[in-house]
Each structure stands twice: as C-alpha cells, then as structure tokens.
Amino acid sequence: DTGVSQNPRHKITKRGQNVTFRCDPISEHNRLYWYRQTLGQGPEFLTYFQNEAQLEKSRLLSDRFSAERPKGSFSTLEIQRTEQGDSAMYLCASSLGLAGLQQETQYFGPGTRLLVL
Amino acid sequence: AQSVSQHNHHVILSEAASLELGCNYSYGGTVNLFWYVQYPGQHLQLLLKYFSGDPLVKGIKGFEAEFIKSKFSFNLRKPSVQWSDTAEYFCAVKPSGTYKYIFGTGTRLKVLA
C-alpha cells in the first residue's frame, strides 16, 4: 500500500503524559498536513509543512503541541502533558504541490485515535 | 471567523432518490472548494474539487457540485443514490493564499436498499 500511513493507530494514555504520533506521507509528496477530529465534527486544521518547513500553524494549537518534519519526509506530532480534552482522532494528509499553483489533492491517512484517561 | 456550514447532519434516502447536500461558507475572498467522503471504515477521500472556471464540477461516482459565488454555496448533488453511497460527507474550503483547510461538521448519509 503506497498511501499515507500513521502510527500508532490507537493510543491510550494517562493525563499528564506525553505522546508522539508519526505520519508517513506518500513518498513524492512535498506537502503535509495535520488535523484533529472530534466526535461529530469535521477535521480541524492544526499545521502545514512544505518539505521540512512548517509554514502555517493554527492559533488554536497550544504550546503543548509541536510538530516536526525534519527531512521533509515523515512527520511527528507531539502532545506534551496531555489533557482529557486532547482525546480525538489525529489525521495526517499529504499532497503534491507545484510551485505557484494552489491546486492540489490531499490524501488522508487512517488517523491515530487518542484517548486520554 | 471563517467557517463552513453543513445544515443537514443526517440524511436518510431510499435507493434511486436524488441527493442534495448543502454547504455554505463565510469568507469574502477567493476560495477553493472541496467535498470529501468517508465510507464506513475507510479514510477520508476526495470526491470533487473546484478551483476556478466552470462552477459546475463533476466528481467521482456520479457526484457533482455547483459553486454559486453570490450565495457562498457549494452544494453536492447526485441524481440517483445507491446503497453504496452510505457514508459521511464533508465540505471544505481553502481560502486562496493559505493552506488552511476549513471543514464543515459533516453530513451522515444513509441509503436504504
């Protein structure tokens, strides 16, 4: 399967612990997005990478959240000092963006479901 | 604040019925528009998209959507639904010049065989 993969698929943690999720995009895709989705809601934009540069970040993202894409390939999303309100599905998407063009198609991964007890 | 409204949260139809799902957005500038679908147990996938040109966009599986700029709407249509169209449908907007996609809350469609 050459789609977007995310690991782990499920994570249960206790409040206050740190968690890290990984996203492996489609290999030639230069753009990578992280979203959070809670029950009954659509995906909520968290952050965007173009290659290794984090170019856009939601103001809703607290300081406890950090994301990296060190070599422009896979990305990690870390949540420090988790809270029960962090329980959600965390989605990753990737796309191939061409310079100067806005057109792109995002391909989503299966998500990581986080439960904070 | 920019937002996307999907007024129908749950829709139940019989096979062969026609479908129209509403999507309205609040943003005054140029936007790119999308409909995504999530079938049970599967990833979100793109159904169709609008960037410019003909406001009537055709997507996969017989779906189409019409961009009406004056109404800030991008409604999804299908003339005759099938049981296999049972899924959750999300409308999304991306303001031009940003990479921030704004999704609606989704519409759960159930098609009865």
- The pLDDT-based confidence of A100 (bands split at 50, 70, 90) is low
Q: Phi then psi for B83, rounded to 5 degrees?
A: -55, -35
**Contact state of B45 with A108 under an 8 Å Cβ cutoff:** yes
- Chain A residues with at least one Cβ partner in B under 8 Å: 3-4, 31, 33, 35, 40-45, 48, 50, 55-56, 58, 91, 93, 102-103, 105-111
What is the per-residue pLDDT across A9-44, written as a single tens digit (0 to 9) for each?
Answer: 999 999 999 999 999 999 989 999 999 999 989 999
What is the per-residue pLDDT across B41-93, written as a single tens digit (0 to 9) for each?
Answer: 999 999 999 998 999 999 999 999 999 999 999 999 999 999 999 999 999 99
What whole-number distance in Å separates Cα of residue A19 and Cα of residue A82? Answer: 8
Rounded to a whole number of angstroms, the distance from the CA of B63 to the nearest CA of chain A is 17
In a mutational test of the B interface, the residue from A24, A90, A108 whose CB has the highest number of chain B CBs within 10 Å is A108
